[in-house]
Structure 1
Amino acid sequence: MESIGILIFFAVIFLLASPILAIIAILRTNKPQPSGDQLAPLLQRLSTLEKRVAELQSRPATPPAATVPPPAAPQAAPQSAPPPAAAPHAVPPAVHAAPPLPSARGKDSASSALDLETLIAGRWLNRIGILAVLLSVSFFLKYAFENNWIGPTGRIAIGLLLGSAMLPWSGWLLERGYSYFSEGIAGLGEAILYVSLWAGWHYYDLFSQTTAFAAMIGVTALMAAVALGRNSQRIALLSLLGGFLTPLIVSTGKNQEAILFTYLLILGAGQLIIAIRRNWRFLIPISFLFTQVYFWGWYESFYAPQFLERTVAFAALFFLLYSAGPVLRACRPGDLFGEDSLLILGNAGAILIALYAMLWPDYRWAMTLAVLILSAGLLAVTQQILSSGKAPTSYARLLFAGLALSFATLAIPIRLEGRWITMSFSIEGAILVWSGFRASVPLLRRAGYFLMAAAAFRLLFFPIPAPRFLFNASFAAYLVLAAALAFSLAAARRVWDSLDGVEKGWLGMQAVAINALLVLALSQEFWGHFARIEMHGSDRLLSQHLALTVLWISYASALLLVGMMKQSPLLRWQALALFGLAVTKAFFYDLSFLDRFYRILSFFFLGFVLLAVSFFYQRKIARERSNQ
C-alpha cells in the first residue's frame, strides 16, 4: 500500500507540473521575435536616413559647377561629373528600401484584424486555458479525494504548494515579455491559495478560523506587494478583490463588528496608499463600494441600539478614510476626475444615511451636531483648496463648498420644526446671496435663491397657525422672508452692471415678490382677525371682504407714494396692479354680494382714493412739463 501511495503522489505531481513544464519549454524554444508591426517603422526610418545621406552626398557638386569660369567649363564638367555619378550609387539603396513602406501601410490597414486576433488568441484564450487547467486539476483532485488517494493534509498541502508556485512562475513569464499571461497565472495562484486556506479551515478543520484569516491577509498583502513590484493595476485589483472576499470566506455568521470593520479600515487604508502612490484611480471607488456593502450587510443583520456609539464611530472613520483621496487630489494642481466627484458625493450620502438610520429621531441633537461638524470640515477643505493656489471658482472648491452648504441646510430641519425651518431658510438664503456677491461665486447666490424659494414654498403650502392679530409666528415668518429678499436686492446693487440678464430678471421678480408677500401676509391677518370677532355669520364675512378692499387700496396708495418719492417705475406699476385688483374685486364681488352699507363704504373709499391718485399723477405730469 505504501508503494501505491507513493506512485499516486508522484502521479499527482506529474499531472500538476506537466502543463507548467510544457509552457516553459514552448517559451524557451519560441522566444518572442519582432513582429512585422515592429519592423515596419524601423525599415521606414532606415529608408529616410538613406535618402538623407544621398542628398548630403549630392549637395557639394552644385557649388563648384557654379563657380567655374566659362573657358574652363568643358574641363570643369568632367571634374564635377563624379558627384552626379555617385548619386546613382546612392539612389539604389533608397529605391531598394522603399518596399517596406507599402508593407507598413498594409500592416496598418490590417491592424484592427491583427489586434482582434491578438485579443482573442493572446488574452481570451489565456483566460479560458487557465480556467480549463483549473477545472481539470479540480476534477482530478476531486476524484482522488473521493477515492481517498490523498488525505486532507495532503490535499491542502498540494493546493498551497501549487498556488505558491504560481507566483514566481508568473514573475518568470513577465521577465520574458508575457505580461497578460503572467497576470493570469498570478490571479490563478491567488485563487488557489484562497480556496486551499478556506477548505483547510472550513471543510477539514486543519487549522482555526484565526489562522485562516491571518493567512488570507498575508496572501492579500503579498499580492499587493507583487502589484507594486510589477507596477500592475490588474494584479492590484485582484489583491483588492481577494482582500474583500476574505471576510465573506471566513465568516461564521456571528457578530464580529470590531474585527470586521477594523479589517475593512486597514484594507481600505492600504488600497488608498497604493492608489495614491501609483495614481491608480479606480481602486478607491471599488474599495468604497465593497465597504458599504459590508457595512449595510452587517447593519441589517446585527445592529442593535447597544452598538450605537461604536457603529457611529466606525461610520465616521469610513467617511474620513474615503474622503482622504479626493481631498488630497483637490489640494494638488489639476482638477478632480469624474470618479473623484462620484466618490465625494457617494461618501457624503453614505454618512448622512448612516447617521439618519442610527440617530433619527431619538438623538436629533446629536445628529444635528454631527451634520454641522461635517459641514465645518467641508468648509475647512474649501478654504484649504483656496490656500493651495486654485481659483475661487475652481470645480473642486465649488463642489466642497456646495456640500458644506447642503449639510448646514439639512441641519435646520433635522433639529427645528415648522416656523423655525422657514425662518432659518430665509436667513441662510440671504446670507448665501450676500456671500456670493462678496466672493463673486454664482453657485452661492443660486443656493441662496433656492433656499428663499423653499421658504416661500413652505409659507404658501404649509401655513403656520396665527392665533393672534399680527403678533404671531406666521406674520413673523413672512416679514423675515420679505426682509431677506430686500437684503439680497441691496447686496446686488454694488455689482448690478456686471450681472447677466437672467439674474437681473430673477432679482426683479424678488422685488415684486416682496410686496406680494407683504400684501398676502396682511390679507391673511385681517381676514383671520375679523373671522375671530364675535359677529353674526353674514356680518363677519362682509367685514372680512370690506377689510380686504380697504387694505389693498391703502397699501397700493402707500406704495404709489413711495414710488413717486423714490422715482421708481417698478414700485408705481406694482401699485397700479394692486389698484386694478381692488377695482376688479369691488365691481365684480362687492357690488353683487356686499350689503348696502358695506357697498357704500367700499365704493366711497375706492372712488376717493382713485381720484386722489389721479390728482397726484396729473400734478406730477404738470411739474415735469414746467421743469422742461
Structure 2
Amino acid sequence: MEFIIFIGGIVILVLVLKLQSRVQKLEQLVKSGVSERKAEPSYQSQPQQFETQQPATSKPLLDYIRQQLKGGVSKEEIKNSLIANSWQATDIEEAFNLIISSANLSQPVVVPAQTGPTLFEKFVAWLKEDWLLKLGAMLLLIGFGWLTTYAFLNNWIGPMGRIALGIIAGALFILLGWWRIKNYITQGGIFLVLGSTTILITIFAARTVYDFFTPFSALVVMFLSTAFVALASIKYNSRTLSLLSLTLAGIAPLLTKSPITDHIGLFAYLFVVTIGAIWIVALTGRRELTTAALIIISAYSAPHLLSPSSFPLVDIQKLLLFAYAFAALFFLTNTAGILKLKDKKIIPDLITAAGNGLFLLVWIMTAAQDEWKSLIIAAWMVIFAVGAFLIFKIAQRREPFYVYAGVGIAMLAAATSAELKGATLAIAYTIESGIIALIAYTILRDIKIAEKISLLLIGPVILSISSIASRAWATSVIHKDFFVILILGLT
C-alpha cells in the first residue's frame, strides 16, 4: 500500500510539473499580448494636439511669448501688453498652453538609481521560483526516506536490496534531472542535486550500517555522481550547479567511514577535485569556484595545522608538498584570470590570491623544518613579488599588485622572524619597511601610496619600545638599543 502511495506521489508530481509548464507558457503569452497592445497615445497625444493647434496660433505670437518669458516677464504683463496691441485673449491663452505643454514634453524623465538586490532578497527570489517543485522535491525525499525506513523495519527488503534501491533511485533522479534541465534549468538542477545527494546518503549508509564497499570504491561512486552534476553545470552554464557539485565532492570523503584515515590519499583526491574545479572555471569563467575549492582544502587542512603533533611527522611533511602543489595551482590560475580579465571585476581572484598566500604561509610555518623555513618562505616571496610586478606591468591594474605585494611582505616578515630575534629583528624590520616603501614608489610613481606603505614602520616602532625603555641607557650610550633607535630615526 505504501509503495502504491509513493508511486502515486511521483505521478502527481509529474502532472504538477506539466501543469506548471503550461501555466508559465500561458503567462508568457499574456505578457507578450499585453506588451503588444500597449499603445502609445500618452506619448503622441500631446504632440498631435500641438500639431493640430499650432496652425491656429501665430508663430510670431509664440516666439514673442517665449522671448518675454526667458527675459523674466510675468504672464500677466505679457498678456496685458498683447491685449493692448489688439491680440485676442483666447489666442494668448492658447499660446501659453502650447508653450507649457511643449516644455513638459521636452523635460527629461529622471529615473531613480536602483540598487542591486541583497543576498537575502536573492535567496527569497530563488525560493519563490518554482516553489512547488522545490517543495515537491523535499516532500519526495522525505517520503522516500520514510518508505525505505518502514520497509527496512519490517524486513521487506534485504541489505543489498536496500542499498541497490537507494542507488537506483538516485540514478533515476539524475536521469530525470538531465531530461528536465534541457527546458527548465532550475527544475533539472534540483533533480540532479537530489539524485547525487541520494547516492551519497545511500553509500554512506552502506558503509556505516552494512560495511558494504571499500572506502576507495565508495569515494569513486560518490565522486562520479557529483561529476555528473558538474558536467551538467558546464553544459548549461549554471553557477549554482557548479558550486553544489564542488560542495558535494568536498563532502564525499567524510561519508566513506574509513577505519584508517589515509591523509595522502585524501589530499590526492582533493587535488583531483581542485583540477576539476579549475577546468570548470576555464570553460565557464566561474572564478568563485577557485575560492570555494580553496575553502574546502583549508577546512581539511585545519586539523593538521591546529594540532600537528596529533599526526605522524612523515605525513605532515608529505602533505606540505601537496600544499606547495595547491599554492602553485591557485597562483597560476589567479594570475591567468587576472591577466585575461583586464577591465572586469576580479574580486574573487583577489580573495583567492590573499587566501592562497595565507594558506601557504601557515603550512610552511607549521610543517616545514626550522632550518629550511626562511629559505622556503623567501623563495615563495620572490614568486609572489615577481607575479605582482608582471601583473602590474601587463594588466596595468593596482589591485592585484597590492594583494600579491601584501602576501610577499607577509612572507618576508615571517622569514625574518624565523631567523632573527630581539634588537636585530627590530633593525631588520625597519630596513625592510623602508626598502618596501622605496620600491613601491619606484614602480608606481605615486608618493601617496608610498606614504601609506611606510605605515609598515609601525611594527618596528612597537618593537623598539623595549629598546627605548632599556636599562642599558643607564650605563652607556653606544649599544644595540642605540642602533635600533638610530636606524629607525634615519628610516
Alignment correspondent of 1:321? 329
| Aligned partner (choices 393, 396, 403) of residue 390 of structure 1 | 396
| Aligned partner (choices 419, 422, 425) of residue 415 of structure 1 | 419
Alignment correspondent of 1:458? 463
Q: What amino acid is aligned across from residue 288 of structure 1 in structure 2? A: L
Deviation digits for residues 559-607 of structure 1, max 9, x if unmatched?
Answer: xxxxxxxxxxxxxxxxxxxxxxxxxxxxxxxxxxxxxxxxxxxxxxxxx
The answer on 1:191 being equivalent to 2:197 is yes
In structure 2, relative to structure 1, the CA distance for the partners of 1:379 and 1:118 (3 Å cut) is closer
C-alpha distance in structure 2 between counterparts of 1:384 and 1:348, whole Å: 17
Alignment correspondent of 2:220? 214
Runs of 4+ in structure 1 deviating by more than 4 angstroms, as ranges, are 26-30, 35-38, 46-54, 115-122, 464-471
C-alpha distance in structure 2 between counterparts of 1:27 and 1:117, whole Å: 21
C-alpha distance in structure 1 between counterparts of 2:417 and 2:329, whole Å: 28
In the alignment, is the contact (CA less than 8 A) between 2:264 and 2:315 conserved in 1? no
Alignment correspondent of 1:258? 264
Q: What amino acid is aligned across from residue 426 of structure 1 in structure 2? A: T
In the TM superposition, what is the alpha-carbon distance from 1:449 to its structure 2 partner? 4.8
In the TM superposition, what is the alpha-carbon distance from 1:291 to its structure 2 partner? 1.5
In the TM superposition, what is the alpha-carbon distance from 1:37 to its structure 2 partner? 6.6
Alignment correspondent of 2:143? 136
Deviation digits for residues 528-570 of structure 1, max 9, x if unmatched?
Answer: xxxxxxxxxxxxxxxxxxxxxxxxxxxxxxxxxxxxxxxxxxx
C-alpha distance in structure 2 between counterparts of 1:433 and 1:47, whole Å: 63
In structure 2, relative to structure 1, the CA distance for the partners of 1:25 and 1:396 (3 Å cut) is same
In the TM superposition, what is the alpha-carbon distance from 1:342 to its structure 2 partner? 3.0
| Aligned partner (choices 191, 201, 207) of residue 201 of structure 1 | 207
In the TM superposition, what is the alpha-carbon distance from 1:211 to its structure 2 partner? 1.8
**SS of residue in 2 equivalent to 1:149:** coil
The answer on 1:477 being equivalent to 2:484 is yes
In the alignment, is the contact (CA less than 8 A) between 1:326 and 1:340 conserved in 2? yes
In structure 2, relative to structure 1, the CA distance for the partners of 1:24 and 1:481 (3 Å cut) is closer
**SS of residue in 1 equivalent to 2:210:** coil
**Correspondence list, 1:54-133, <5 A:** 122-133=129-140
* Count of residues paired in the alignment: 418
**Correspondence list, 1:528-543, <5 A:** none
**SS of residue in 2 equivalent to 1:240:** helix
Alignment correspondent of 1:96? none
The answer on 1:424 being equivalent to 2:432 is no
C-alpha distance in structure 2 between counterparts of 1:126 and 1:48, whole Å: 37
**SS of residue in 1 equivalent to 2:181:** helix
C-alpha distance in structure 2 between counterparts of 1:153 and 1:413, whole Å: 59
In structure 2, relative to structure 1, the CA distance for the partners of 1:411 and 1:443 (3 Å cut) is farther
Alignment correspondent of 1:236? 242
C-alpha distance in structure 2 between counterparts of 1:260 and 1:291, whole Å: 10
Which stretch shifts more, 320-329 or 467-476? 467-476
In the alignment, is the contact (CA less than 8 A) between 1:224 and 1:239 conserved in 2? yes
In structure 2, relative to structure 1, the CA distance for the partners of 1:138 and 1:368 (3 Å cut) is same
The answer on 1:23 being equivalent to 2:13 is yes
Normalised by the length of structure 1, the TM-score is 0.59
C-alpha distance in structure 2 between counterparts of 1:464 and 1:246, whole Å: 60
Bigger radius of gyration: 1
Deviation digits for residues 490-542 of structure 1, max 9, x if unmatched?
Answer: xxxxxxxxxxxxxxxxxxxxxxxxxxxxxxxxxxxxxxxxxxxxxxxxxxxxx
C-alpha distance in structure 1 between counterparts of 2:413 and 2:213, whole Å: 54
Q: What amino acid is aligned across from residue 19 of structure 1 in structure 2? A: G
In the TM superposition, what is the alpha-carbon distance from 1:459 to its structure 2 partner? 3.1
C-alpha distance in structure 2 between counterparts of 1:464 and 1:411, whole Å: 29
**Correspondence list, 1:33-52, <5 A:** 33-36=24-27, 39-40=30-31, 42-48=33-39
In the alignment, is the contact (CA less than 8 A) between 2:182 and 2:188 conserved in 1? no
Q: What amino acid is aligned across from residue 421 of structure 1 in structure 2? A: L
In structure 2, relative to structure 1, the CA distance for the partners of 1:204 and 1:378 (3 Å cut) is same
In structure 2, relative to structure 1, the CA distance for the partners of 1:19 and 1:258 (3 Å cut) is same
| Aligned partner (choices 300, 314, 323) of residue 306 of structure 1 | 314
In the alignment, is the contact (CA less than 8 A) between 1:433 and 1:444 conserved in 2? yes
In the TM superposition, what is the alpha-carbon distance from 1:135 to its structure 2 partner? 1.8
Identity %: 18
Q: What amino acid is aligned across from residue 280 of structure 1 in structure 2? A: R
The answer on 1:146 being equivalent to 2:137 is no
| Aligned partner (choices 402, 406, 410) of residue 410 of structure 2 | 406
In the TM superposition, what is the alpha-carbon distance from 1:234 to its structure 2 partner? 1.9
In the TM superposition, what is the alpha-carbon distance from 1:119 to its structure 2 partner? 6.4
Q: What amino acid is aligned across from residue 133 of structure 2 in structure 1? A: N
Q: Return 5+ residue gaps in structure 1 as ranges.
A: 1-7, 55-114, 486-628
In the TM superposition, what is the alpha-carbon distance from 1:435 to its structure 2 partner? 2.6
Alignment correspondent of 2:172? 165
C-alpha distance in structure 2 between counterparts of 1:163 and 1:459, whole Å: 65
In structure 2, relative to structure 1, the CA distance for the partners of 1:444 and 1:17 (3 Å cut) is farther
In the alignment, is the contact (CA less than 8 A) between 1:378 and 1:400 conserved in 2? yes
In the TM superposition, what is the alpha-carbon distance from 1:264 to its structure 2 partner? 0.8
**SS of residue in 1 equivalent to 2:464:** helix
In the TM superposition, what is the alpha-carbon distance from 1:443 to its structure 2 partner? 3.3
